[in-house]
A and B are shown apart, each in its own frame.
Chain A
């Protein structure tokens, strides 16, 4: 079980940001009261995305700076195991924060229909986190942490600009966003589960790809 020491080495990074972020979210949810639980849940999804992706990327930047994989490649274990461990740490952190999110939603005392809607939003957010973050991590192994994160930021910026422009009067953006919100609300649990399963499948596919990429470029 010597992989535990890879986990131990990186665990602190995964605890640093989520603990204060979720403490803040919990205080906000239970303290001041939330006017719009749906928006709050989307915000929670964004927080989960940031506080789980950031440590994964920082860890890889640190590995790049130290040429950590060149060091690890001298030790008696396949480097692919390290990649798998890092992917699984990412998945566990997303799921753990997702559970914390569900606990917050459950503790907010929302009426049943609203609780159902927010849970669906959170589940969708977690699925998106799993897919996008595994993609970013795979790109990190292929092109390096900085290019991968820069690509993500550029795509996010373009999406935000696009959303901002489409929100202007006469354009269909606002209606489209409202439509997405409505679609999530009306999405059946079967399709939610199917979507989550597809997200997990994509995650494991990315992990496999990353293992292959890292296995062929350790130095």
Chain B
């Protein structure tokens, strides 16, 4: 399986924050979610990929090329939506579309116009008059109008209302289409990642703490509720984020497939209950360092 994006050992030192040894890869056709709390290094990582920030150390390869050397060739094949949307505020949407069209080799004005229609963006309006949601949609329209092979999205749904969020996610799923195209999407809205991603990387305090396929997470990470005495030593040893409550205890395990057989009798007796976890739960478990 070829990787469209590879990051190895990325480091960046700031006064109050450092990105430490960030490594991950995105195979062609994959949607990868980058999840982490605010300030964990998601945006820094993405800006390095976009050659907006120079890493202090590490290697980035996108389509096998180095963004610092082949910036033009790479960015022609990437659609990027940033955390914040920056455009020339006094210019119109139409002007903005024409301006960017001169730089992308495969820009398709008809596709851009189509997205503007679909998203309800009035091209005659000035950028400064657009709402945050409309600016995000404009960014997505621009990102998708030059036939990119890889989308890099930094918190694209942050601050959007649920209707627009769902619309944006649908567009992303459509984009992936025949699984030839890939997406890297960062978000702290884990529901969005759960909905569309194939694999998930958790970044906490400037470090990738976990990077697996979503299906693996769904099948191995579970919340186990058990009555006192119902869970054996091995089960209890595999649990993190353990909480005691009136009816017993509960905790999160990342080894469900290994302890499933041991849990089976308790589950059958009604003393143990197994629940799917959300990516939020997994993230919180990592943030707590458990």
Contacts and interface: CB of A to CB of B under 8 A. Distances in A.
Contacts of B73: 76
Interface stretch (B80-88, B217-225, B234-242): B80-88
A216 B80 CA distance: 20
Contacts, number: 57
A5 B99 contact: yes
Contact of A66 (B72, B74, B75, B88): B88
A168 interface: no
6 contacts: A66-B89, A71-B86, A74-B75, A74-B82, A77-B75, A219-B47
A215 B52 CA distance: 8
Contacts of B103: 2, 5, 75-77
A76 B54 contact: no
A219 B71 contact: no
A219 B88 contact: no
B96 to A, nearest CB: 9
Contacts of B102: 2, 4-5
A10 to B, nearest CB: 11
Interface string B142-177: 000000000000000000000000000000000000
Contacts of A88: none
Interface of B is mostly: loop
B100 A68 contact: no
Contact of B54 (A70, A78, A216): A216
Interface of A: 2, 4-5, 9, 62, 65-68, 70-71, 73-78, 215-216, 218-219
Interface in B48-66: 50-54
B88 A71 contact: yes
Nearest to B44: A219
Nearest to B95: A9
B87 A66 contact: yes
A14 to B, nearest CB: 17
A78 B86 contact: no
A73 B52 contact: yes
A74 B105 CA distance: 14
With a 10 A CB-CB cut-off, give which of A4, A70, A73 has the most chain B CB atoms: A73
Given A2-B103, A66-B87, A74 B71 contact: no
Given A77-B103, A216-B54, A70 B86 contact: yes
Contacts of B53: 218-219
A75 B100 contact: yes
Contacts of B71: 76-78
Given A74-B80, A78-B71, A218 B87 contact: no
Contacts of B82: 70, 74
Given A216-B54, A219-B53, 9 more contacts: A2-B103, A5-B103, A73-B51, A73-B52, A74-B80, A75-B104, A76-B71, A77-B71, A78-B72
